[in-house]
Chains A and B, each alone.
Chain A
Amino acid sequence: MNITINGYDIVAEEGITILEAAKRADIHIPTLCYVNKGTSDIPCELCVVSVEGVDSPVRSCITPLREGMRVTTESKELQAKRAERMTLLMETHFGDCKAPCNLTCPGQINVQGYIAHVAKGQYEEALRLVMERNPFPFSVGRVCPRFCETRCRRILVDEPVSINHLKRFVADWCMAHKVDLRIPRDPSTGKKIAVIGGGPSGLTGAYYLARKGHDVTVFESAPKLGGMLRYGIPDYKIPQDVLDYEITTILRMGINVRMSQKWGEDFTLQSLKDQGYEAILIATGTPVDESLDIPGCALPKVIPATKFLRNMSEGKGGNYGRSAVVFGGNNVAMEVARSLLRKEVGQVTIIYPRAQTEMPANQRNIRVAEKEGVQFLLMASPVNFIDTNNGITVQLIRTKLGEPDEKGIRYPEAIPGSTVNINADTVIVAQGLSACREKFDGGQLEATLELTPKFNIKANPRTSLTNHPGIYAAGDVTSGPRSVIQAVVAARRAAENIHAQVMGITKTVAESRFNFTRGKGFDDVDLRNFEGINIKLREKMPTRPPQIATQDFSEIKLGFSEQMAITEAKRCLSCGCRAFDRCDLKEMAMDFGLDPSRTGMGTKPVYTEKISHPVILVDLNKCIYCKRCQNSCDYDAIEISADGVDDKGRPVGLNFKFKENCVSCGTCVDNCSTGALNKKDMLPPIIGEPVREVRSTCPYCGAGCQVLLKVKGNTLMEVTSEPDLAPNYGALCVKGRFAHNFVQHKDRLTTPLVRRGGQLVETSWEDALNIVAKNFFDLKSMYGPDSIAGFSCARASNEENYLMQKFMRTAIGTNNIDHCARL
């Protein structure tokens, strides 16, 4: 039969539909409801096409070919009609694409994913997932301000999930178990890239650039790497040995390091360019303390905070006396004060010209400092430091907040005549930090680097590029002091841009903001979402009590035990959609350029009844009634129907049932157009991350079904099947699709065992094979080769069976080889 589609002449089989003919000719017509056995009784109507001589568009899925038919699949009219239909479908779809924690995390880490790995005991894979976006899980796991936890939906039930403690747990677990994450590095590109600064942003940039195969060199001015993590955050928060381990893990990616190299003295931007570095990332942070600029501020007993903290880190620093005052309300001030307590300074006072709630430090940090015994003198500001023989007298003036300025900010003002004195042995100033003092030194390029008013580097927030081509900046050096995770994110983005530049490619588009949500803010979230979820409070982090913790610099928070981590991980409500990577509704909506936050989406759950099934989860709130589940079921084991339609013709009152004859094969899940059906076992959602697909053969019965293994990192995430491959053509049974947990089960044998003293004990391969060879050899010489027999394995490969029988017939010299073909 001869037809034309979009002007192409096509010869097609008689009796098939336009949709089928187009599919065979590789012409794409969108559809959400068509599968092999038919369509929904309330069809999606996305497959409409125009046929010459027919007034209105027709559904290609039900329109059979006619001789000479002329079909058009793309036009403005069709596009508009499809978009209208899509919008209607989207208006009732209710669920979250991404979890709020994931959306809130500055690093966009797949939080739900790694928590799900923890719940399954897959700590290694959890850490690998974190490392895809954050190479500092040990440090961030200890000091993150936890933006994610503030948005955790579990707050609406009881308390948020202790997300950050779980991150720390997986990192610590992998360290304790000496896990080599074996994160692959792309083939070498031969591109040289320089990174200035070996702190969190510099090392992050270096890590992701090295992963991409670039030849990266980090230039660090200090004798050790780590930047503020080492020299700004005390040991009681991030122990040195943990940091060393973390940095070693990062460097293992293959990064060159040049220590004690001072920018502007040992090298300049120009000298790096001359050495062939194709791009430079500046990540030097904010090493410059802002001075107080009052009389006496240069006295030796008045110490800048960064210098003090660095001394702490290097084990230097002398006696700070019995009392100390600290000026500043930022996180650095808190760490200074707490460190002083640990240096046996009995009385430590933080002085700040505003109220405690206005301090820029994290409120959690302020509370801990207070608990440990730090005192706070608020609404006061220094005016003079006077050296006395046994200390310093600090002259203070009390402050009040003035009238709001044009931006509505109230600044502290001195109250005239309110001067008071305070005596201290040590004064530490933690006022603020900047990237440089007015300009960078070194050469022409340095001098002309564009800066912000606060003397940080001005870089394009999207590309991280400075005003000089090929020179990028990221982290605190551009933003002033921020959290570690923010430095990490900035540097990762910079690395992506640098990669794109040196490879001459366009940067991969940033992840789409397309998102269905069950409610953006807590007030928007319907509480019926949480029906049936029992209160289960979060696990408490084991912590050394303040009176003991302040005796030394050892770590205060001791970390979750494995059991605590699993219990905590199981509290996760798994908000994000497990069908994220396979949702046709989402993909097609994006193709049409539709955004549910503008066109509308479901706002409350309509269906709360739980439909139980051993391997499948059902959420009818996501169902668009495409009926592909029912129509793809080879066993006719699903019943789905609607009680009626609403005024726009959409189904209402959905009824869904697995019938008695369901064999749990899971075909319906693989065919679901949204996340209405999901595999229970597939906990970690894949959110736009690279997944490898490996073709293989099912290891169970003799049918030889072809399977597609979906692998992330070193974990088998899911098993599906391709519809066009013999002998099973996409069909699998419950074992083939679901029974693959054994691959990564903790009971797997991981090391050779030998019997010693009646017990099986671990040994090396060398030892184990020597024992086997010797015993076989002895038996052979004493009793002849036929005294040894071998059982081969009907589960193993052809190659291995071939070698097993070859081994028995050659190395042993017997035909005593057999397997369980008859069993």
Chain B
Amino acid sequence: MASLALTFGSGAMTNSIADMKKTDLFLMIGSNPDTSHPTIGMRLHQALDRGAKMIVVDPRRTRLAERADLWLRILPGTDVALLNGMMKVILDEGLWNKKFVEERTEDFDELQRLVAKYTPEMVEQITGIPEDQMRQAARMFAADGRHAIFHGMGITHYVTGTDRVKSIANLSMLCGKVGVEGGGCNPLRGQNNVQGACDMGALFNTLPGYGGLDNDELFAKYEKVWKTKLPRRPGKPATEIWENIFKGHIRGLYVFGEDPAVADANISHVQAALEEIDFLVVQDIFLTETAKMADVVLPAACFAEKDGTFTCTERRVQRIRKAVDAPGEAKPDWKIFCELSKKMGYEMDYDSPEDVFNELRQLLPQYTGITYGRLEKEGLQWPVPSEDHPGTPVLHIGKFTRGKGLFIPEDYIPPVELPDEEYPLLFTTGRDLARYNFSSMTGKTPEIDEISPECFAEVNPLDAERLGLKEKNWVRLTSRRGSVEMRATITDRSQEGTIFCTYNHLQTLVNMLTLDALDRLSRTPEYKLCAIKVTVFGDEQPD
């Protein structure tokens, strides 16, 4: 997100889901939509069925990896080296799109300079991918055709997440694959409205519509519409809140619809901070682990109990509609904000979510042309600059949002926590098909429990042999931050040296293990990788 905003001028999926019908080659990197975005995964399989080509970069043997024309089984956390290596091959062999680079990009020389040192030999050593496979991938991607890159949390959930996304953008621009139907750089957004939450400025460093805190003109506009002086001091990102609570800088916390007590990395640290804080308000639909620690809990309506809009991964703004009444005295969140704000002395007076939308579309250039009326049947993809504009399925056609595409080459930085003698294995996580996040919603349907009753530590057969592990044995995984117990399954889906587990079972809190080191730009934690050790038990769960 943050990276694409720097390189292209807009941090969203450049293309559309429907575009996948036109794509000639998919480069899937750090994304397994079969489980994390199932209906998109299905379209990918349909694309393969019709003959589209696919390169999968994934440490795990996923279903797509099995079907791909080329599967690069990469060592976790080494994507930047791979991408830089591919770009060096493309440059060395003169395969890049010279016209595109010349006309539509800047800082190409910086890219050339940086990637020069990523020789195939060096890249093979870092990534574990054989030289010729890497060359082949580079040639396939640089060839003519509509080539799309898809990435997911497997790219961003690292301290170097933004470096990877920049490198992805660099590769796509270098080969001229941006701004065409069936191509582009396509981050698959994890949550239903994470795109919308970003668009709406629920971010510490931008106002709604991605306006920066240094933009005087924009502030003047907002201060006029909101009729109050706005703070210019930079805010603190969510992931930095915990240390600031310990330092006494943050004393009150208003948590709306999140459960950091289980969802954040290194949760024992988070839970200690939540105990430390002076005043905690939680607004949610269930009494989450975080809510249990709150001073005040405000009951909210869920998606089926209110009107509004979500913006999905392809920038499509779509309606949700009230279908049933909220239980008891629970209220829609928008109403709670209005009532609380009034008590705080700032009037927020809206009749309906549509009323709110009509205000925000005046302020957000991407949403200006969207009205509830236009969303009646089908959603619209932003930017929609005017009410007669049909929406924008593909971004950056002819011109990048920021003008010229900017190459921002980045060096490979190894993962924060590498295996050592004490913690000899790597640990990484992914999403279960039938479950969502920490199952606060999916966990309420008995059939889902039947499909996915528990999560397993997926261990490569070679590691299993070394550990003396048998199928379905109980194991304890321990990192420097905590430990968690579950049963193990032996499968070559996992790479040797890396244990994989889904993170969606509340009784198996894998974020006890994960690392809360943060990305330099976006402040995203290194969820996807940490070093662990494994203790094997028998068939009995340890006490």
Interface residues of A (CB under 8 A from B): 182, 614-615, 634-635, 663-665, 680-681, 692, 694-706, 709, 711, 714-716, 725-728, 731-736, 738-745, 747-755, 760, 765, 768-773, 775-777, 779, 783, 785-823
Q: Which residues of B contact A791 (CB under 8 A)?
A: 238, 241, 253-256, 258, 260
Task: Decide: A747 and B258 in contact? CB cutoff 8 A.
Answer: no
Which residue of A614, A692, A715, A804 is within 8 Å of B202 (Cβ)?
Answer: A804
Task: Decide: B18 and A816 in contact? CB cutoff 8 A.
Answer: no
Q: Which residues of B contact A769 (CB under 8 A)?
A: 298, 336, 339-340, 343
Q: Which residues of A contact B232 (CB under 8 A)?
A: 815
25 cross-chain CB contacts under 8 A: A635-B45, A664-B434, A681-B445, A696-B320, A697-B312, A703-B37, A738-B445, A742-B302, A748-B302, A752-B297, A753-B299, A755-B296, A760-B287, A775-B278, A786-B249, A789-B241, A790-B253, A791-B255, A796-B308, A798-B200, A801-B200, A805-B200, A817-B201, A822-B161, A823-B264
Q: Which residues of A contact B306 (CB under 8 A)?
A: 797
Which residue of A635, A701, A749, A803 is within 8 Å of B299 (Cβ)?
Answer: A749
Min C-beta distance of A716 to chain B, whole Å: 6
Task: Decide: A799 and B334 in contact? CB cutoff 8 A.
Answer: yes
Q: A681-B447, A818-B237 are in contact. Are A755 and B294 (CB under 8 A)?
A: yes
Q: Which residues of B contact A744 (CB under 8 A)?
A: 324, 327
Q: Which residues of B contact A697 (CB under 8 A)?
A: 192, 303, 310, 312, 318-320, 379
Task: Decide: A614 and B319 in contact? CB cutoff 8 A.
Answer: no
Task: Decide: A615 and B258 in contact? CB cutoff 8 A.
Answer: no
Interface pick from B68-76, B120-128, B435-443, B482-490: B435-443
Is the C-beta of B377 less than 8 angstroms from some C-beta in chain A?
A: yes
Proximity bits, B297-328, A CB within 8 Å = 1, else 0:
11110111110111111101111111111011
> Considering the complex of A and B, which 7 residue pairs feature the smallest CB-CB distances, nearest first?
A704-B312, A750-B328, A793-B257, A797-B308, A815-B235, A702-B189, A733-B38
Task: Decide: B378 and A726 in contact? CB cutoff 8 A.
Answer: yes
The chain A residue sitting closest to B17, CB to CB, is A727
Q: A794-B191, A798-B200, A799-B360 are in contact. Are A738 and B341 (CB under 8 A)?
A: no
The chain B residue sitting closest to A770, CB to CB, is B343
Min C-beta distance of A661 to chain B, whole Å: 8
Interface pick from B94-102, B103-111, B412-420, B519-527: B519-527
Q: Which residues of A contact B156 (CB under 8 A)?
A: 822
Interface centre among A634, A697, A772, A809 (most CB of B within 10 A): A697
Q: How far is the CA of A705 from the CA of B312 in the complex (A)?
A: 8
Q: Which residues of A contact B278 (CB under 8 A)?
A: 775, 779
| Other contacts beyond A727-B314, A815-B231: 20, CB < 8 A | A696-B323, A715-B324, A726-B17, A735-B433, A735-B434, A739-B448, A748-B302, A755-B295, A765-B331, A787-B252, A788-B254, A789-B236, A792-B257, A794-B197, A799-B353, A800-B332, A804-B202, A813-B230, A815-B234, A823-B264
Task: Decide: B202 and A783 in contact? CB cutoff 8 A.
Answer: no
Task: Decide: A701 and B192 in contact? CB cutoff 8 A.
Answer: yes
Task: Decide: A771 and B296 in contact? CB cutoff 8 A.
Answer: yes
Task: Decide: B447 and A787 in contact? CB cutoff 8 A.
Answer: no
Residues 328-386 of B contacting A (Cβ, < 8 Å): 328-334, 336-341, 343-346, 348, 350, 353, 356-357, 359-360, 377-379
The chain A residue sitting closest to B337, CB to CB, is A803
Task: Decide: B230 and A768 in contact? CB cutoff 8 A.
Answer: no
Q: Which residues of B contact A665 (CB under 8 A)?
A: 38
Interface residues of B (CB under 8 A from A): 1, 16-18, 36-40, 42, 45-46, 156-157, 161, 188-205, 207-208, 213, 226, 228, 230-239, 241, 244, 249-258, 260, 263-264, 278-279, 281, 284-287, 291-292, 294-300, 302-306, 308-314, 316-325, 327-334, 336-341, 343-346, 348, 350, 353, 356-357, 359-360, 377-379, 433-436, 440-448, 450-451, 519, 522-525, 527
Q: Which residues of B contact A813 (CB under 8 A)?
A: 230-231
Task: Decide: B525 and A822 in contact? CB cutoff 8 A.
Answer: yes
Q: How far is the CA of A797 from the CA of B321 in the complex (A)?
A: 11
Q: A751-B329, A820-B258, A823-B525 are in contact. Are A701 and B445 (CB under 8 A)?
A: no
Interface centre among A664, A770, A796, A817 (most CB of B within 10 A): A796
The chain B residue sitting closest to A756, CB to CB, is B295
Which residue of A635, A760, A777, A816 is within 8 Å of B42 (Cβ)?
Answer: A635
Q: How far is the CA of A497 from the CA of B236 in the complex (A)?
A: 67
Which residue of A715, A726, A805, A819 is within 8 Å of B18 (Cβ)?
Answer: A726
Q: Which residues of B contact A806 (CB under 8 A)?
A: 226, 337, 348
Q: Which residues of A contact B199 (CB under 8 A)?
A: 798
Which residue of B320, B327, B346, B350 is within 8 Å of A748 (Cβ)?
Answer: B327
Task: Decide: A790 and B254 in contact? CB cutoff 8 A.
Answer: yes
The chain B residue sitting closest to A725, CB to CB, is B378
Interface centre among A744, A753, A760, A791 (most CB of B within 10 A): A791
Q: Which residues of A contact B230 (CB under 8 A)?
A: 809-810, 813
Interface centre among A738, A775, A788, A789 (most CB of B within 10 A): A789
Q: Which residues of A contact B263 (CB under 8 A)?
A: 820, 823
Q: A704-B379, A820-B263 are in contact. Are A779 and B346 (CB under 8 A)?
A: no
The chain A residue sitting closest to B230, CB to CB, is A809
Task: Decide: B252 and A798 in contact? CB cutoff 8 A.
Answer: no
Interface centre among A664, A750, A795 (most CB of B within 10 A): A795
Q: How far is the CA of A733 from the CA of B305 in the complex (A)?
A: 22
Q: A699-B192, A790-B254, A800-B334 are in contact. Are A779 and B39 (CB under 8 A)?
A: no
Q: A614-B447, A795-B193, A819-B202 are in contact. Are A695 and B346 (CB under 8 A)?
A: no
Min C-beta distance of A796 to chain B, whole Å: 5
Q: A739-B448, A794-B197, A800-B334 are in contact. Are A822 and B239 (CB under 8 A)?
A: yes
Q: A663-B38, A734-B451 are in contact. Are A714 and B309 (CB under 8 A)?
A: no
Task: Decide: B213 and A815 in contact? CB cutoff 8 A.
Answer: yes
Task: Decide: B524 and A823 in contact? CB cutoff 8 A.
Answer: yes
